[in-house]
Structure 1
Amino acid sequence: MNTVFRLLALAAWLPFATSAADDPAASRQAFGEMAKVLQSPRCLNCHTVTNFPRQGDDRHPHAQLIQRGADNMGAPTLMCFACHQAANSVDGLVPGAPNWHLAPLSMGWEGLGTGQMCRKLVDKQANGNRDAAALAAHMTADPLVQWAWHPGGNRTLPPLSQADFHDAVRRWAGNGAYCPK
């Protein structure tokens, strides 16, 4: 992980690191808000359980028949970064953000209910060994995640504003990272 991301992650989490509470009801309520975003096409298109990315609000298979590849960045013959650069194309047709890639299959949550998705999210064996603080940092500071609110073209934004999502993530993690039942 590069230094800039670590600093952003620390800055995003720091206000909550020392004030963590244990309020299951508040945490579960905040996750319900988060789930509205996590279950939207902006997240599900890459958090898929398929061997290919999806695109569009209808979540159709990637038009160029891209495959996941061993490292979730496309097959060796056509890697994600061949088209997806560090920023959206000028015309907005090709989305872009740093480190464009699919989420690992272990973090695919399409078809899961809110509680199931949350339990998968907090499963350290599936999520890259991230604790609640690291998950909050990922969801509030990772440039690829933040792209969802600046997708370019005619893509639909997530159902919560970026600030409201960040607030919900921090309330969820800061109150114990509880999952809906």
Structure 2
Amino acid sequence: MMRTFVTLVLVLAGCGGKMTTPPTGEKPDPATGVAAFATVRAVLQHPRCQNCHPAGDAPLQGTEGRVHAMNVQRGPTGHGMAGAECTTCHGPANPPSNYGLHVPPGSIKGWHMPKPEEKLVFVGLTPRALCEQVKDPARNGGMDMAALRVHLEDPLVKWGWDPGFGREPVSTPYATFIAAWETWAAAGAPCPN
């Protein structure tokens, strides 16, 4: 698995950091899909994504994945508990991030986590378990691959690549992630062994 990931990194570096999907009508082979999923997995398991997709009901913070301060909890809809909804601090009109590192980031769409019954956990899963969970509508909010692709355009998802002052963004460029996702999906979304 690690060898596949290293090979993918070297291939991406040699191609200017971009993965491309085959011409229309050509389906990538499963090995190409699994290699593309290595990039997808690296993004999903980056702290920016894992912080809202933890195993428990408290979101995580920072690149070290510490439990969110002030006993913040997922709540019954994923938007926090009554009186402490995510948007109480992470609102659409937050001051710009250049005000300082401790200014809570906002999102025009509204900060939230997945619902409790569809947590879509990214923390601590093997690549195969993550792959199977992501594409399973029973565990991902009822989404097929097309709906998941649309979800990747969500402003809250895209925030991970532009998290503001002093915050580490997702290290894989967004375009590279999307190209890898599309290659993986076009190959039939195969999971690694």
Shorter chain as denominator, the TM-score bin is 0.7 to 0.9
* Conserved 8 A contact 1:19-1:174: no
* Conserved 8 A contact 1:31-1:169: yes
* Conserved 8 A contact 2:76-2:115: no
Q: Secondary structure at the match of 1:64?
A: helix
How far 1:54 moved relative to its partner?
Answer: 0.6
* Conserved 8 A contact 1:46-1:54: yes
* Conserved 8 A contact 2:51-2:59: yes
Give 1:158's aligned amino acid: V
Aligned-partner Cα distance in 2 for 1:66–1:19: 47
Give 2:67's aligned amino acid: P
How many residue pairs were aligned? 165
* Conserved 8 A contact 2:28-2:183: no
Gaps of 5+ in 2: 1-20
**Larger RCO of the pair (alpha carbons < 8 Å, separation 6+):** 1
* Conserved 8 A contact 1:87-1:95: no
Aligned-partner Cα distance in 1 for 2:161–2:150: 16
Aligned-partner Cα distance in 1 for 2:112–2:122: 16
Cα 1:87–1:110, aligned 2, differ >3 Å: closer, same or farther?
farther
Moved over 3 A (4+): none
Q: Which residue of 2 aligns with 1:149?
A: 161
* TM-score normalised by length of structure 1: 0.84
Identity of aligned residues (%): 38
Q: Which residue of 2 aligns with 1:86?
A: 92
* Conserved 8 A contact 1:149-1:157: yes
* TM-score normalised by length of structure 2: 0.79
Q: Which residue of 2 aligns with 1:178?
A: 190
Which of 51, 56, 66 in structure 2 is aligned with 1:50? Answer: 56
How far 1:104 moved relative to its partner?
Answer: 3.2
Which of 167, 170, 175 in structure 2 is aligned with 1:163? Answer: 175
Aligned-partner Cα distance in 2 for 1:144–1:38: 14
Q: Which residue of 2 aligns with 1:11?
A: none
Give 2:158's aligned amino acid: Q
How far 1:87 moved relative to its partner?
Answer: 6.0
Q: Which residue of 1 aligns with 2:30?
A: 24
How far 1:22 moved relative to its partner?
Answer: 5.4
The alignment's C-alpha RMSD in Å is 2.0
Aligned-partner Cα distance in 1 for 2:93–2:178: 21
